[in-house]
């Protein structure tokens, strides 16, 4: 654990701690504590206040992601070992962390969660805003015994799993916007970024990245260029992020096995129950011939069905949005 992590853990209760006590606990000088506090204030979105004669205090209490808690809550054979779960204070991107493991031929299933991403990535080259200790940034490396050619629909299955986990903590009106955005009250609450490695006709490895807005600081939220919502606003309370990560993993692992065996067709009903676009007029961005139509659900490969000029087309990629009819 780095010095900064240890200091943050000591301060995580949101109470005052004197510089003297912290210095004694960490075995460093009071000046070293002061320097670490400054580093945290410069680097992370959460701030430590310093009051004469009282000491240092985090602006709000924090419940950190915790490896032991995650492992005991996930309780799944394939991921239960300590070596298969990494909890990081920060990284560039949790997806990148796992892609680097694949490059080094470390191909076992692996879960990584981080308190902060410095280069969090979203779909279509977008940035994923990833402030410190506020949200969930998680990725799962999963070997799949199917080829890349057979993998269409997997990202929709990940979105379904995330939606089910959100339902389990009381967000009953969660919806899915094709292909893999998770929405509440017409605002995005979570997103999925799937990256695949392997040859086209042999078993491949999936890096499944999931970001969930839990308690987005206002300053960070202001830089997001689409409508968003977080769990704190939706439920009017904070949640333990370890519980939600574990629930997402449980929902996901049970579906990944089924997906490997049966493909996306086994999930059409679950998708239909959560489909935000069904029956809506939509605009399509990034398609050669189809610019608009009416969404008609998904086919057995996870392609979006779009009715236009009395014909139904299958859309395999592209960005869609609900048309505002004036």
Q: Which residue among the candidates 232, 280, 296, 323 is catalytic per the annotation?
A: 323
Strands (DSSP E) along the chain, which ranges?
48-51, 55-58, 85-88, 110-114, 136-147, 174-177, 181-184, 187-197, 203-212, 281-285, 292-298, 304-308, 311-315, 319-322
Active-site annotation holds for 296: no
Contacts of 92 (CB under 8 A, 6+ apart): 117, 118, 119
CB atoms within 10 A of CB 104: 7
Q: Which is nearer to ligand BTN, 56 or 128 (CB)?
A: 128
Q: Smallest gap, in angstroms, from Cβ of residue 90 to ligand BTN?
A: 12
Q: Which is nearer to ligand BTN, 124 or 300 (CB)?
A: 124
Angstrom distance (rounded) from CA 110 to CA 94: 11
Active-site annotation holds for 255: no
Helices then strands, counting H and E runs in the chain, come out as 10, 14
Q: Which residue among the candidates 123, 232, 280, 296 is catalytic per the annotation?
A: 123
Nearest to 293 by CA among 108, 96, 284, 208: 284
CB atoms within 10 A of CB 309: 7
Q: Smallest gap, in angstroms, from Cβ of residue 198 to ligand BTN?
A: 19
Angstrom distance (rounded) from CA 263 to CA 255: 10
Q: Which is nearer to ligand BTN, 137 or 259 (CB)?
A: 137
Q: Smallest gap, in angstroms, from Cβ of residue 121 to ligand BTN?
A: 4
Q: Smallest gap, in angstroms, from Cβ of residue 101 to ligand BTN?
A: 14
Contacts of 146 (CB under 8 A, 6+ apart): 203, 204, 260
Angstrom distance (rounded) from CA 190 to CA 85: 21
* Token pair 């949200």: residue: 135
Angstrom distance (rounded) from CA 279 to CA 269: 16
Q: Which is nearer to ligand BTN, 120 or 263 (CB)?
A: 120
Asked whether the beta carbons of 115 and 89 are under 8 A apart, the reply is yes
The arrangement of strands across the sheet holding 311-315 comes to 311-315, 304-308, 292-298, 281-285, 319-322
What three-state secondary structure class fits 146? strand
Query: Residue numbers of the site for ligand BTN (CB under 6 A)?
Result: 93-95, 117, 120-123, 126, 128, 137-139, 181, 191-193, 209-211
- Residue whose Cβ sits closest to ligand BTN: 191
Q: Which is nearer to ligand BTN, 36 or 130 (CB)?
A: 130
Q: Which is nearer to ligand BTN, 183 or 267 (CB)?
A: 183
Q: Which residue among the candidates 57, 164, 188, 255 is catalytic per the annotation?
A: 188
Q: Smallest gap, in angstroms, from Cβ of residue 225 to ligand BTN?
A: 11
Active-site annotation holds for 124: no
Q: Which is nearer to ligand BTN, 210 or 256 (CB)?
A: 210
Q: Smallest gap, in angstroms, from Cβ of residue 245 to ligand BTN?
A: 11
Q: What is the DSSP string of 83-123?
A: GGEEEES-BS-HHHHHHHHHHTT--S-EEEEES-BSS-B-G
Q: Which are the catalytic amino acids?
A: 123, 188, 323
């Amino acid at each position: 654990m780095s010095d900064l992590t240890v200091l943050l853990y000591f301060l995580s209760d949101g109470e005052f701690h004197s510089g003297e006590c912290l210095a004694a606990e960490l075995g460093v000088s009071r000046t070293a504590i002061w320097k670490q506090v400054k580093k945290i204030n410069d680097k992370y979105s959460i701030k430590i206040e310093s009051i004469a004669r009282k000491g240092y205090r985090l602006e709000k209490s924090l419940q950190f992601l915790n490896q032991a808690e995650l492992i005991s809550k996930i309780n799944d054979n394939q991921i239960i070992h300590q070596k298969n779960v990494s909890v990081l204070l920060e990284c560039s991107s949790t997806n990148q962390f796992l892609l680097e493991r694949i490059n080094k031929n470390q191909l076992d299933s692996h879960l990584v969660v981080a308190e902060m991403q410095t280069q969090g990535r979203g779909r279509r080259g977008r940035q994923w805003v990833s402030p410190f200790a506020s949200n969930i940034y998680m990725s799962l490396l999963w070997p799949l015994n199917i080829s890349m050619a057979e993998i269409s629909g997997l990202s929709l299955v990940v979105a379904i799993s995330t939606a089910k986990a959100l339902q389990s903590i009381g967000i009953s009106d969660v919806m899915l916007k094709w292909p893999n955005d998770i929405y509440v009250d017409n605002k995005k609450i979570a997103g999925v970024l799937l990256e695949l490695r392997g040859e086209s006709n042999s078993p491949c490895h999936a890096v499944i990245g999931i970001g969930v807005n839990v308690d987005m600081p206002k300053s960070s939220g202001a830089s997001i260029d689409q409508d968003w919502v977080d769990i704190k606003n939706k439920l009017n309370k904070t949640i333990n992020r370890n519980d939600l990560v574990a629930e997402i993993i449980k929902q996901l692992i049970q579906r990944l096995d089924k997906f490997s065996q049966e493909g996306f067709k086994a999930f059409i009903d679950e998708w239909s129950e959560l489909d935000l676009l069904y029956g809506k007029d939509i605009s399509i961005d990034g398609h050669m011939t189809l610019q608009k139509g009416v969404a008609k659900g998904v086919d057995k490969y996870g392609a979006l069905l779009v009715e236009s000029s009395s014909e139904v087309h299958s859309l395999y990629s592209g960005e869609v949005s609900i048309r505002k009819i004036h």
